[in-house]
Amino acid sequence: MSTPVTPWWEVLKLRPEITHSSGSLDDVQMSLFQAVHGNVNDRPAYADAKYYGEITHPSPLLTDLMAKVAVRLGGGESYTRARALWRLDQSMGGGKSHGLVGLWHLATNPAVLATSDTGREAYAKAAAMLDRPLPEDLNHPQVVVLACDNMTAGKGVASYDGPAQSLYERFLWRLFGGDNALYLRYKDFNADKSKIVDALTAVGRPVLILVDEIMDYIRQLSDTDHADLAVRDMAFLRALLDSVNDVPHVAAVVVMIASEKDHMALDDAGQQRRNELDALLIRNGETATINDNTDFAAILQRRLFEGTAPAEVLSATSHAFSSRMTGPWRDKVFNIVASTGLAKFPDEVARCYPFHPQLMALAEEEWATLAGFQHVRSTIRIFAATAYALHKRGKAGEWTPLLVGPGDLPLSDAVVREAIIGSGLIADTRTQANYRQIASADIVAADDHAGAARVLDRQRTNTLVTQVNPRAAERAATCLFLCSVIGYRGPGRQGATEPELKAAMFVPDPMFPLAEADTILGELRDVDGGGLASVEHLAGKGGQAARLFMSTRQTLNMLVRAARASVEDADRDEELARTAERLSVTGPFKSKLFVSADLGRTPLEVLASAGIDDARSTRLVVLDPRQFSLLNGIDKETRAAVRAAMGIGGDKLPVQWASSAIFAIVNTQRRSQARGAAVHYLAWNGVAAMDAVRTDEELSDKAREQKAEARRNLDTAVRRAYQHLLYLGQGDEDEYSRTDRTVTFEQENQSALDGTVVWKALASIFQ
């Protein structure tokens, strides 16, 4: 066994907001408006500068922007060493609001922020730019916050805006801190750059202008009632953006998502206003970014945990993995999976802990490049839910991985599953619904017991494997799920390679060899044996490795699997009997008789009342497979009943025309196979009738095709299952003795249900 390593859930403490919300963070998306204007009862925790500093990673991009704004505000005569106007244009979830809240703290709580890692980094960079330290209070800046995502065009809120109505008037009221005299002096000059410069100077101290989500306000100006207001507001914005560079110790930061990243619907006038603002910001300002994809790991550690893991735990964990990532594992898995095959793996473990470098690489290099993925915000939600669920498992003594990899996001947890599905990784609601079903049916259900992969793990009999890696199949399937929901992983790539899935299954223990990982992958690929119904096999092309992919096109297979489980034995056998009666044909026989089962009576009683003895014709008597079968050691009652119906044996019935009745009987073993085909047909029949399938043209067409194929397979299985004939023949004692004789068809195109085949077989016997 491996040397024990102190697990991450014993050395890392989740932040209170993670535990209080059960991993479902509500304030992942920071709000500048709430930080500034929130009342005592609902003011968010990040409105406190100390807490903000604790949870904020001092990313180089954020601290660089803070430093430049600080220089502009408090840099004295050297203020020109930094630009005045900055634009944050990242897409949703990129950290813009987080950055604005930080800048607000920089100006309103500089001393407190300076004690945090972020503040120290920012002040150090500013001092390097100025060749001297900044004043501790940055000369007490005035902060003008225009939270445009919380404004109604033309209608001010008295508590924030006083008498102000237009955007310019609101700006003035905030600039002058509610000084009505100053406000009235300048309120009529919304497009006068010189007056705006005078107003900014009249404050007598540095000014920081923070404009959040400007396009939320601009869109409202397209209302026909705002035609005049639109002209005045746009004139003000043009004058302001042209003026901030001309006033010492003034800085402005505007949030306006880049056009190609913003899906906001605008009319022609709105689009023209967007274009105008774009041009002004490009001409007068500079674009800044708050975070880089490589900041994810550090951001997560700050937001999720209090403190960091001791160096000795990081070293021991890294060694536990590295010491076992050798031999076949190294050659066939880790050298192929880039994030695990690097020489700097120990450094990556320390950077990503408690998350595995393989999972972090997926988030940083693939998720973050998707247009719909809300970068930092989505990542925090997914990882927070995962950390909470696994931390809880670890504390409860349940098996939990030493490093949380791409196979360890517990999809049985509703918060984790919905954080992934709603993150923007999956493009549309229909696909989201399909993958939600895949997660539950193919991987693990909400009860943590059902789901194809989970069932495979629970049924595994190898006790050594179940001790060290009890969720191996679930882990591989979860990794495949994460690699599939994003669609394309770069040019020509979908899904995951087998080495990636094996890496996700890996545990640093000799009791889980590579051969066991191969076996588990084989189980997952075996759909008929309970594997993953949604998986497609993608052949390698252009030198790329073959891949597995969880496809929503396979959703029907999952529905069928669920439907199969709900088919009752009685319904299955009834369909088998119906099929046998339907397929039976007389051929040269004058008539056919299907003897239905009555399980409340004995086979002999059923045959006695079936009306078999008929002098008018030769008869093919088809016996119901529910009650009659031959061979496999359980045909004693069937043989005895048929013999009696022929008028022979100890319980013989009074018959006169037994020699003209031929009994077609199912083979016991082949009946078992036909029952499986009946279940499959009934499952497809049920799925094809589902409203969700019937109303979807693509699914409906596929279901009809599969139902028809299942029907054909059932017919074939039933024909082959009726392998035996029983008839009354001459005995061996003398010419008057009679006995039962059996004919068994061995060729696949022969069936006891076909009167022509039966007649030919008997004719060849009596020639």
What is the rounded CA–CA span in Å between residue 425 and residue 378? 9
Which own/partner contact pairs does 358-364 have at CB distance under 8 Å and 24+ positions apart? 358/405, 358/406, 358/500, 358/503, 358/504, 359/404, 359/405, 359/406, 359/408, 360/296, 360/297, 362/406, 362/482, 362/483, 363/296, 364/293, 364/294, 364/296, 364/297
Instruction: State whether 532 and 491 are in the same domain.
Output: yes
Confidence of residue 566 (pLDDT cuts 50, 70, 90): confident
Q: Max alpha carbon distance in the chain (Å)?
A: 133
Q: How do residues 466-524 score in pLDDT, each as one tens digit?
A: 999 999 999 999 999 999 988 666 665 788 999 999 999 999 999 999 999 999 999 99
Instruction: State whether 683 and 590 are in the same domain.
Output: yes
pLDDT over 60 (residue 27) = no
Please state, as a whole number, how many other Cβ atoms lie within 10 Å of the Cβ of residue 467: 13
Strands 724-730 and 661-665: antiparallel
What is the rounded CA–CA span in Å between residue 525 and residue 628? 37
What is the rounded CA–CA span in Å between residue 246 and residue 697? 63
Number of domains making up the chain: 3
Report if residue 300 sits inside a domain: yes
Q: Which of 144-158, 290-304, 671-685 has the lowest mean pLDDT?
A: 290-304
Confidence of residue 462 (pLDDT cuts 50, 70, 90): confident
What is the SS3 assignment for 740? strand
Q: What pLDDT does 695 receive? A: 81
What is the rounded CA–CA span in Å between residue 671 and residue 337? 48
Range of the domain at 241: 58-290
Q: How many angstroms separate the first and last alpha carbons of the chain?
A: 75
Strands 305-306 and 13-14: antiparallel
Q: Where would I find the beta strands (DSSP E) of 148-249?
A: 207-212
Residue among 456, 548, 536, 534 nearest 499 (CA): 548
Instruction: State whether 298 and 326 are in the same domain.
Output: yes
Instruction: State whether 118 and 193 are in the same domain.
Output: yes
Pair of tokens at residue 616: 């008018």
Q: What's at 420, amino acid-wise?
A: I
Report if residue 18 sits inside a domain: no
Report if residue 471 sits inside a domain: yes
pLDDT over 90 (residue 235) = yes
Q: What pLDDT does 422 receive? A: 84
Q: Averaged over 380-402, what is the pLDDT?
A: 94
Which range scores top for mean pLDDT: 85-99, 169-183, 250-264?
169-183
DSSP label at residue 752: T
* Beta partners for residue 742, in sequence order: 726
Report if residue 698 sits inside a domain: yes
Instruction: State whether 450 and 585 are in the same domain.
Output: no
Q: What pLDDT does 554 receive? A: 65
Report if residue 36 sits inside a domain: no
pTM: 0.71
Strands 619-623 and 13-14: unpaired
pLDDT over 80 (residue 173) = yes
CATH number of the CATH domain containing 93: 3.40.50.300
Instruction: State whether 556 and 615 are in the same domain.
Output: no
What is the rounded CA–CA span in Å between residue 471 and residue 400? 9
What is the rounded CA–CA span in Å between residue 127 and residue 119? 12
Q: What pLDDT does 490 receive? A: 64
pLDDT over 80 (residue 291) = no
Q: Averaged over 20-25, what is the pLDDT?
A: 80
Instruction: State whether 548 and 576 are in the same domain.
Output: no
Report if residue 730 sits inside a domain: yes
Q: What's at 223, amino acid-wise?
A: D
Q: Which of 278-292, 296-310, 318-332, 419-433 has the lowest mean pLDDT?
A: 419-433
Please, are residues 508 and 3 in contact by the beta-carbon 8 Å criterion?
Answer: no
Instruction: State whether 330 and 232 are in the same domain.
Output: no
Confidence of residue 372 (pLDDT cuts 50, 70, 90): very low
Q: Which of 116-125, 182-191, 252-261, 276-285 has the lowest mean pLDDT?
A: 252-261
Pair of tokens at residue 670: 């082949």
Please, are residues 79 and 280 in contact by the beta-carbon 8 Å criterion?
Answer: no
What is the rounded CA–CA span in Å between residue 500 and residue 483? 10
Rg (CA), the chain: 38
Q: What percentage of residues in the chain have a pLDDT greater than 70?
A: 94
Q: What pLDDT does 1 receive? A: 43
- How many Cα atoms are found within 13 Å in the side-chain-facing hemisphere of 574? 6
Confidence of residue 764 (pLDDT cuts 50, 70, 90): very high
> Where among 268, 290, 312 does a domain terminate?
290
Report if residue 45 sits inside a domain: no
pLDDT higher for 564 or 505?
A: 505
Q: Averaged over 294-298, what is the pLDDT?
A: 77
Instruction: State whether 554 and 579 are in the same domain.
Output: no
Q: What pLDDT does 486 receive? A: 81
Q: Averaged over 381-388, what is the pLDDT?
A: 92
Q: What's at 103, amino acid-wise?
A: L
Please state, as a whole number, how many other Cβ atoms lie within 10 Å of the Cβ of residue 242: 16
- Give the distance from CA 106 to its chain's centroid: 38
Residue among 16, 22, 59, 141 nearest 376 (CA): 59
Residue among 660, 664, 597 nearest 630 (CA): 664
Pair of tokens at residue 343: 């020489």
Q: What percentage of residues in the chain have a pLDDT greater than 90?
A: 67
Confidence of residue 26 (pLDDT cuts 50, 70, 90): low
Q: Averaged over 692-712, what is the pLDDT?
A: 89
Q: What pLDDT does 92 receive? A: 58
Instruction: State whether 373 and 258 are in the same domain.
Output: no
Q: How do residues 581-637 score in pLDDT, each as one tens digit?
A: 999 999 999 999 999 999 999 999 999 999 999 877 899 999 999 999 998 778 899
Q: Residues 6 or more apart from 105 whose CB is under 8 A from it?
A: 49, 52, 53, 112, 113
> Where among 244, 267, 290 does a domain terminate?
290
Instruction: State whether 230 and 353 are in the same domain.
Output: no
Q: Averaged over 519-545, what is the pLDDT?
A: 84
pLDDT higher for 4 or 514?
A: 514
Instruction: State whether 323 and 462 are in the same domain.
Output: yes
Q: What pLDDT does 371 receive? A: 47
Q: Over the chain, what is the mean pLDDT?
A: 90
Please, are residues 764 and 725 in contact by the beta-carbon 8 Å criterion?
Answer: no
Report if residue 47 sits inside a domain: no
Q: Averaged over 627-653, what is the pLDDT?
A: 92
Q: What pLDDT does 502 receive? A: 97
What is the SS3 assignment for 139? coil
> Where among 564, 592, 625 does a domain terminate?
564
Q: What angle do CA 126, 128, 132 make, to 5 degrees?
A: 85
